[in-house]
């Protein structure tokens, strides 16, 4: 029995609801976070978003603001992207300022962008207007999919679930989304899942939060 089905369905529906709202209201970008998304202190301090937090998790509101601003800045500098993935994943290309999608003459103070290989979660995805237009035109909300698999399904050359792609093609899906990620550390990402930090959470007021965020733990 797949105990993750309720979580997968609700995740997909909530993401689609947010994307449709952003598309209808004319936003240039839509950054969608999971409800258990967290910023590791190691990421926040390395990127200069935080200087105060000492545990594994950063609790500074300013860190989230910096994260959003830098993600949008990267997306604007790589306008060919349909989405920018901020979670944990794997890269197709060697990470580095000039090894990714940004032009070589770019001033890569943000670390550059690299094309994505595979994503492990959907903790934070920044969608461009091109992707939002597709969401409306293709009525993706009528074809619910597990949100963790959004990027592999919509842009991989060999999606592991061909039936999903056949379903999309039947309603007009023709172009493959181009997905990127910050090139500084694709395998760590900027945003991670709450459940990655079980040891710290078990000794805090969030002791049961990571369990309730993942239906397989119930």
User: Residue 50 — very low, low, confident or very high, per pLDDT cuts 50/70/90?
Assistant: very high
For 180-207, what is each residue's pLDDT tens digit? 888 777 778 899 988 888 766 655 555 5
Percent with pLDDT over 70 in the chain: 68
Residues in the chain: 218
Cβ 133 vs Cβ 30: under 8 Å: no
207 membership: H or E segment, kind and range: none
Tokens standing for 78? 């790589």
Q: Find the range with the poorest average confidence among 67-71, 73-77, 194-198.
A: 194-198
Q: Does residue 50 contact residue 38 with C-beta atoms inside 8 Å?
A: no
CA distance 152 to 147: 10
Residue 188's pLDDT is 81
Name the residue with higher pLDDT: 40 or 149.
40
- Concatenated DSSP letters of 46-66: HTTS-SS--SSEE--HHHHHH
3-state secondary structure 99-117: CCCCCCCCCCCCCCEEEEE
pLDDT surpasses 50 at 83: yes
pTM, two decimal places = 0.81
**What is the CB-side half-sphere exposure of residue 22 using CA atoms within 13 A?**
22
Q: Write b or e for each residue in 15-42: b if 16 or more Cβ atoms lie within 10 A of its Cβ, otherwise e.
A: bbebbbebbeeeeebbbbbbebbbbbbe
16, containing H or E segment? helix 5-24
């Amino acid at each position: 029995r797949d105990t993750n089905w309720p979580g997968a369905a609700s995740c997909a529906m909530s993401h689609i609801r947010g994307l449709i709202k952003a598309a209808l209201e004319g936003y240039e970008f839509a950054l969608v976070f999971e409800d258990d998304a967290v910023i590791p202190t190691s990421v926040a301090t390395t990127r200069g978003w935080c200087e105060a937090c000492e545990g594994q998790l950063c609790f500074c509101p300013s860190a989230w603001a910096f994260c959003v601003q830098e993600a949008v800045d990267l997306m604007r500098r790589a306008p060919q992207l349909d989405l920018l993935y901020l979670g944990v994943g794997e890269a197709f290309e060697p990470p580095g300022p000039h090894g990714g999608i940004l032009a070589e003459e770019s001033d890569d103070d943000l670390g550059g962008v690299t094309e994505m290989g595979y994503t492990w979660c959907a903790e934070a995805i920044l969608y461009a207007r091109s992707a939002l237009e597709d969401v409306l035109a293709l009525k993706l909300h009528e074809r619910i999919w597990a949100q963790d698999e959004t990027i592999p399904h919509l842009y991989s050359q060999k999606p592991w679930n061909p039936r999903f792609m056949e379903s999309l093609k039947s309603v007009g899906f023709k172009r493959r989304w181009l997905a990127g990620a910050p090139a500084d550390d694709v395998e760590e990402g900027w945003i991670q899942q709450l459940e990655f930090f079980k040891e710290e959470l078990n000794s805090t007021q969030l002791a049961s939060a990571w369990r309730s965020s993942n239906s397989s733990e119930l």
